[in-house]
């Protein structure tokens, strides 16, 4: 799989994750202290905030976050875009529609 496509899909995965976390934050704004704004906190506090937001997501949102983070792990390990079932490359159109996909259409 070519590098520009992986970069495009990785950016899409990060955007999807950010939107899910942002929605959790907006839905629970009254419980989020103003001093937790991402631009004002340290890296360790950001990790804590992300964990708290993940906990606020409904079950479906938590599953989506896990799938996205698993896909990002495959990007880091160099196995992104390879089918976990047959080992073949997952078609680019499938990944564009469903970036966390870990199986090709045939598996």
pLDDT digits (tens, 9 = 90+) for 56-95: 777 788 889 999 999 999 999 999 999 999 999 999 999 9
pTM of the complete model = 0.67
- Using DSSP, how many helices (H) and how many strands (E) does the chain show? 4, 0
- Give the model's pLDDT for residue 1: 75
Q: Give the whole-angstrom CA distance, residue 75 versus residue 84.
A: 14
């Amino acid at each position: 799989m070519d590098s520009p496509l992986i970069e495009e899909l990785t950016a899409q995965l990060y955007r999807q994750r950010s939107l899910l976390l942002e929605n959790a934050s907006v839905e629970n704004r009254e419980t989020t202290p103003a001093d937790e704004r991402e631009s004002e906190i340290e890296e360790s506090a950001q990790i804590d905030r992300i964990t708290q937001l993940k906990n606020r997501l409904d079950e479906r949102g938590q599953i989506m976050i896990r799938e996205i983070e698993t896909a990002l792990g495959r990007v880091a390990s160099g196995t992104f875009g390879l089918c976990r079932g047959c080992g073949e490359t997952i078609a680019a159109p499938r990944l564009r529609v469903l970036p966390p996909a870990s199986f090709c259409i045939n598996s």
